[in-house]
Amino acid sequence: MNEGEKHEAVSDLTLMLAYLTSWDDTSKRAHKMGAPSVLTAWKGYDRATLDELREQGLIETDTHDSKLRLTDDGIDIARYLLEKYDLAEKADGAEETRTEAKEAGVNATHAAQEHVEPDDEHAVPAYELRVRFDFHALTCVRTLLVPKDATFDDLHAMIQACLGFANAHPYAFYAGHGDDAVRVKLPEDDPLEDAATRSTAALTDRDAAALPLEALVPDHHTLRYRYGYEGGSWHLTCELTDEFAHLPEGVPVCTAGAGDAPCEELGGEEEFAAFLKTVDNPAATDYEDTEEWGADQGFERFNLKSANSRLAHWKEWKLTDDGQEGQVFA
């Protein structure tokens, strides 16, 4: 392969990957007003290649945004390329995932906004949060509907359930910056300090088990969520994207998502990327051992139904008073 062919292959593969990992980023309000779908992906690709795709009118990007948007021409060419490279089945799979996510989102939105009698004690106001890993190259994002009156400890358990994590390590949420910074955690947990939090002398701690989301979320549309231990933590961002009047039964719902969640015991994005490369290659010498280890860790490809099946039982991810995992509510 000469340099010209290599350059063309990188450009083609980048556009195809952007399409395969994209999601409909149109807001619920815009959908209701008849706005067309906007396929969006994280722009963790070669910058020069993205610049060329933008100049060709296949994608749109913003310097201050970590996402790219595929144009109609970009979508058409991506699908053509998938046919050319005999990857049409993957395209159909991606389309099915997007359709499933969209239908689930529409159903959840309809359920959340349908008329509920004031005396229906099981319906609660809800936030829509987009939860994503702070990856540079990989993508893992989930959109959740969660009760406004849930505590931060509840939200932690909901995220753990949605991702298939085991709630085996300390966690903390961070809101604000500088003198207004707040850290929300369980009082008995280690503070999960890093360079940023250690340098914040005025950091205020709040009890995650007692603090409701509505005490911080309205004023802090973006929260930082850290789960793990010193030197081995996962960093995520929780962004408020919408609000709803009611969430029937107060049960959290995952309405959309993209990308696989890592095994929580991996050491970070690079190790996860290496893990994915191996489990995607049955010819690799360590394929069977890696696949078996991943199965033991509960790794699974993103599946909206599985995520919601776990979310329906999110309270099982809570910890009992003695710090052991278990269902603490009837």
Rounded distance, CA 19 to CA 93, Å?
Answer: 12
The pLDDT tens digits for 31-81 are 444 556 778 888 778 888 988 998 898 998 876 667 788 998 889 898 888
Rounded distance, CA 319 to CA 325, Å?
Answer: 5
Contact 79, 90 (CB under 8 A): no
pLDDT at 62: 73
**Res. 293: pLDDT tops 70:** yes
Rounded distance, CA 192 to CA 233, Å?
Answer: 8
Using the 3D structure, point to which of 86, 110, 130 is the last residue of a domain. Answer: 86
- For the ranges 148-157, 275-284, 318-327, the lowest mean pLDDT is seen at 318-327
DSSP 8-state secondary structure symbol assigned to residue 37: P
Rounded distance, CA 166 to CA 266, Å?
Answer: 13
Residue 170 CB neighbour total at 10 angstroms: 17
Note whether 47 and 159 are same-domain residues.
no
The number of folded domains in the chain is 2
Note whether 129 and 46 are same-domain residues.
no
DSSP 8-state secondary structure symbol assigned to residue 132: E
pLDDT at 88: 65
Q: Does residue 129 belong to any structural domain of this protein?
A: yes
**Res. 1: pLDDT tops 70:** no
Q: Is 133 exposed, middle or buried (0-12, 13-18, 19+ CB in 10 A)?
A: buried
| Residue at 171: amino acid letter | Y
Residue 290 binned pLDDT confidence (cut-offs 50, 70, 90): very high
pLDDT at 321: 43
For residue 201, CA distances in Å to 85, 180, 181, 205, 207 come to 55, 10, 9, 12, 18
Note whether 125 and 246 are same-domain residues.
yes
Note whether 73 and 138 are same-domain residues.
no
Rounded distance, CA 273 to CA 313, Å?
Answer: 29
Residue 236 binned pLDDT confidence (cut-offs 50, 70, 90): very high
Residues pairing with 253 in the sheet: 145
Note whether 178 and 313 are same-domain residues.
yes
Residue 8 binned pLDDT confidence (cut-offs 50, 70, 90): confident
What's the whole-number mean pLDDT along residues 136-140? Answer: 90
Q: Does residue 282 belong to any structural domain of this protein?
A: no
Q: The pTM is what?
A: 0.63
Higher local confidence (pLDDT), 282 or 194: 282
pLDDT at 325: 47
Note whether 139 and 54 are same-domain residues.
no
Using the 3D structure, point to which of 31, 62, 86 is the last residue of a domain. Answer: 86
Domain containing residue 236: CATH number: 3.10.290.30
Note whether 154 and 228 are same-domain residues.
yes
What proportion of the chain, given as a percentage, has pLDDT over 70?
A: 75
Note whether 174 and 309 are same-domain residues.
yes
Residue 180 binned pLDDT confidence (cut-offs 50, 70, 90): confident
Q: Does residue 166 belong to any structural domain of this protein?
A: yes
Residue 191 binned pLDDT confidence (cut-offs 50, 70, 90): low
Rounded distance, CA 14 to CA 48, Å?
Answer: 11
Q: Does residue 297 belong to any structural domain of this protein?
A: no
Domain that holds residue 35: 3-86
**Res. 165: pLDDT tops 90:** yes
Question: Measuring CA to CA, which residue among 60, 80, 79, 81 is closest to residue 70?
Answer: 60
CA dihedral 215, 110, 131, 44 (to 10 degrees): -140
Question: Measuring CA to CA, which residue among 90, 108, 35, 89 is closest to residue 256?
Answer: 108
Q: Does residue 187 belong to any structural domain of this protein?
A: yes
Q: Does residue 287 belong to any structural domain of this protein?
A: no
**Res. 146: pLDDT tops 90:** yes
pLDDT at 254: 92
For residue 325, CA distances in Å to 89, 144, 220, 320, 321 come to 40, 23, 30, 6, 9
Note whether 184 and 122 are same-domain residues.
yes
Contact 315, 327 (CB under 8 A): yes
Q: Does residue 270 belong to any structural domain of this protein?
A: no
**Res. 320: pLDDT tops 70:** no
Domain containing residue 36: CATH number: 1.10.10.10
Rounded distance, CA 174 to CA 226, Å?
Answer: 8
Using the 3D structure, point to which of 42, 70, 86 is the last residue of a domain. Answer: 86
The pLDDT tens digits for 212-233 are 999 998 888 899 999 986 667 8
Note whether 142 and 212 are same-domain residues.
yes
Note whether 141 and 74 are same-domain residues.
no
Q: Does residue 326 belong to any structural domain of this protein?
A: no
Note whether 180 and 123 are same-domain residues.
yes
pLDDT at 118: 45
For residue 231, CA distances in Å to 124, 159, 215, 235, 288 come to 38, 21, 30, 12, 28
**Res. 312: pLDDT tops 70:** yes
Q: Is 262 exposed, middle or buried (0-12, 13-18, 19+ CB in 10 A)?
A: buried
**Res. 85: pLDDT tops 80:** no
